[in-house]
Structure 1
């Protein structure tokens, strides 16, 4: 038996297990993630965040979904990760460079007298190029009709670190589990996250998400950013938008083509897990 120390964290209800692997001893993170994230036989989470050393940034974050699949980026996860790194004092200062599968992201910590109060993440640029998503389309997927699950959806797809597809309309018109039919549509060879989005006004939207590799979640940071980028592209919103997700509120701002995300990150509990 091996004892694994962990910290359980959540950002607007999107929950993660943070573990340290600074020596890179865990070879199969997919199997480990499935074991830890199981809500009946494990700790329970939407994914794990692994702390590793980086040669190009202050620290590296590896994300594995609950089903054992790899994720290059996670908005709620990186906020939790930044809080963890700051409070463990692995990086001194309030601007942390974090290596992710989607490049190096900057986490700007808001703190008073060394006490963490919040964090803003520069999520980088969004990309509507179907080759980048990837999606099997010769043109950008902007408000395009998609027939699946015996239903018509009008979708807008983009890359926001990971693939996202946005369906605009009234949230009451969609069950979040409908997202699985879009996730697995042949249009998306690497599958896609799906965000159902209701525009309240120019400065507020509501979003519920079906996450690729995790299913329904209380929040999705990259999905909220993608929804704002898509809403902005379609002229539904302005540059700064409040995003209401089932787990809380995120503040998203588009500045010169880059997306800034601000939101909460909290520790739920810490413990030990026995690995057989």
Structure 2
């Protein structure tokens, strides 16, 4: 069987997209096939695979798989790319509401081509150490804010945290954030990919919130975030330690399309 696919990337976080209105039963929930398609030497190559299906109550449903073939929790950059792809194939307009594994999301394509994605509210933030935080922004994240001049190997550090006794059963994404003059820079080790990715939307969101907590800022805020794949922005409202109206903004680019046999 041959399948049409599209490749998108959001700040270097790249995804294979399938139109789920077609028969994709040979791929959906097929862990070995998805892993092969995401393989950068033997397949198309991607950090994940996303299927867009017709929505029952909203415009569409996003089904996301990690590059190892496992169905995953929410992906922020994948969600932004899904909005762009949904418009391209006629499932949505510039403004949309869709369903993902963590619930309902609203999004919008802006005039400059950036895509805004509404994220879930964040109400439970664990401050493990002075500069270490844990939270769920649609996916679970461990955030370490680096001190001035401090550096670490995100792959080595990420694997140590992800596979320690506390996290190895479910896994956790691991982030290191450096404070800049204007905002932060972020590196992320992603579970399911089991390596560093150039960008992680839910990780960037977690780092922005951790940075805000560390700095003691209250009320409305936004944080500019630099990743190895490019620039993102996270805006939010905060009240009594509760974060809501969280929006992740950044580019979403169609790279190429093709046909592959399965």
Fold match by TM threshold 0.5 = yes
* Pair 1:161 & 2:161 matched: no
Matches of 1:237 and 1:168 in 2, distance apart? 16
Task: State how many pairs are aligned.
Answer: 249
Matches of 1:55 and 1:29 in 2, distance apart? 23
Map 1:62-77 onto structure 2 (within 5 A): 62-77=63-78
Extract unaligned runs of 5+ from structure 1.
130-140, 146-153
Residue 121 of structure 1 corresponds to 117
1:75 CA displacement: 0.8
Matches of 1:172 and 1:10 in 2, distance apart? 30
Whether the aligned pair in 1 keeps the contact of 2:29 and 2:71 (CA below 8 Å) is no
Matches of 1:83 and 1:6 in 2, distance apart? 14
Residue 87 of structure 2 corresponds to 86
Whether the aligned pair in 2 keeps the contact of 1:243 and 1:250 (CA below 8 Å) is yes
Residue 243 of structure 1 corresponds to 225
1:95 CA displacement: 1.7
Matches of 1:242 and 1:196 in 2, distance apart? 15
Q: TM-score, normalised by structure 1?
A: 0.84
Matches of 1:127 and 1:191 in 2, distance apart? 21
* Pair 1:267 & 2:254 matched: yes
Change (3 A) 1:80 1:250: same
Residue 175 of structure 1 corresponds to 153
Choose from 210, 215, 237 the match for 1:255.
237
Choose from 144, 149, 163 the match for 2:129.
144
* Pair 1:5 & 2:4 matched: yes
Question: 1:106-141 CA distances to partner (integer Å, 9 max, x unpaired)?
Answer: 011224xxxx82211111212426xxxxxxxxxxx3
1:231 CA displacement: 1.1
Whether the aligned pair in 2 keeps the contact of 1:121 and 1:262 (CA below 8 Å) is yes
Extract unaligned runs of 5+ from structure 2.
none
Residue 32 of structure 1 corresponds to 33
Choose from 205, 212, 217 the match for 1:225.
205
- Give the RMSD, CA atoms, in angstroms: 1.9
Map 1:186-225 onto structure 2 (within 5 A): 186-188=165-167, 189-201=169-181, 203-214=182-193, 215-225=195-205
Change (3 A) 1:226 1:17: same
1:30 CA displacement: 2.3
Q: Which runs of 4+ in 1 moved over 4 A?
A: none
Change (3 A) 1:172 1:16: farther
Residue 13 of structure 2 corresponds to 14
Q: TM-score, normalised by structure 2?
A: 0.89
